[in-house]
Amino acid sequence: MNLLRCLLVLSLFLLGGCDNRKSDDVIIFGTSADYPPFEFYQDGQVVGFEIDLANAIANDLGKRAEFKDMPFSSILLALAKGQIDVALASMTPTKEREEHCAFTKTYYRSVVGVVYKKGSAVPDLKGSDDVTVACQLGTVQEDWVKRNCRAKRISIDNVASSVEHLKTKHVDGIVVDGIVAVALCKENPALAWTVVATLDESGTAMGLKNKSRLVEKIDAVLDKLENSGVLAQLKEKWGLKDLVQSTEGEEPAK
Ligand code: ARG
């Protein structure tokens, strides 16, 4: 019996020891690939602005980027558990999140948009409890809806499935980052969008474990990519327009 227990302990130890995901030449990025143009599936592959950015960063650091797709709401937990090295999910550095992780510099700023069916009225999120809106679980948009809207809210784990809910009229709108709204409308010509808010906490950055030395390294590469114009090229490639500048004081974009 004792021998059995020893063997069990030994095998658990060996298994633990075999967890070589901490191989030094790989950076594991945890993402939620339902958020075009940041990260999404195209022909079975995860692609997007942040995927290119992560690859460029890993490459510059002499490492290989590996991507783990998971629900957005699980990413910070996976980071805390050490299952991933970097949260890469168009994540906004909020004060609340900063209590649990460290963020790199921000490399994009967004607005809050609502996507709705073309031909329907723009859903009156703030004023009416007669409309239902979908937002992604654990996002700043979910928080914004909770705090500011009378509309009924459905929190959904996957943005792609919220598009289905909209098409089948289970909801009247989806609240997402503005540039994602642009991408969703491009993919689905029956949809339109408009800006509903510009938040103070609206940047996009990568999240790492507190005190991770990788933060400074990634920041240095981000500076390099910005100065060399590569960051701007990637934004151009993926259609990451500056919506904060272009929408302030203007009629909402359709
Ligand atoms: N920017 C928002 C936030 O940080 C939403 C991000 C959702 N990201 C995603 N890949 N689905 O809360």
Q: Which domains does the chain have, with CATH numbers?
A: 21-109+203-242 (3.40.190.10), 112-197 (3.40.190.10)
Q: Is 67 in the pocket of ligand 1 (CB under 6 A)?
A: no
DSSP 159-199: HHHHHHHHHTTS-SEEEEEHHHHHHHHHH-TTEEEEEEE--
Q: Measured from the CA of 33, which atom of ligand 1 is nearest?
A: 10
Q: Is the CB of 108 under 6 A from ligand 1?
A: no
Average of per-residue pLDDT across 75-80? 98
Cβ of 159 below 6 Å from ligand 1:
yes
Strand segments, DSSP code E, in the chain are 26-31, 34-35, 39-42, 45-47, 64-69, 86-91, 101-103, 108-109, 112-117, 132-136, 152-156, 173-177, 191-197, 203-209
Q: Cβ(162) to ligand 1 under 6 A? A: no
Q: Which of 14-28, 98-112, 173-187 has the lowest mean pLDDT?
A: 14-28
Tokens (6 digits) for 52: 């290119």
Residue 250 has pLDDT above 80, yes or no: no
Task: Say what the pLDDT of residue 22 is.
Answer: 59
pTM for this model (two decimals): 0.88
* Tens digit of each residue's pLDDT (9 = 90 or more) over 93-128: 999 999 999 999 999 998 999 999 999 999 999 999
The mean pLDDT of the chain is: 90
* CA 208 – ligand 1 centroid, Å: 15
Mean pLDDT of 169-186: 96
**Is any ligand 1 atom within 6 A of the Cβ of residue 32?**
yes
Residue 185 corresponds to which tokens in the numbers above?
A: 């409308």
Tell me how far the alpha carbon of residue 130 lies from the centroid of ligand 1, in angstroms.
Answer: 26
Residue closest by Cα to atom 12 of ligand 1: 139
Measured in Å, residue 217 CA sits from the centre of ligand 1 at 23
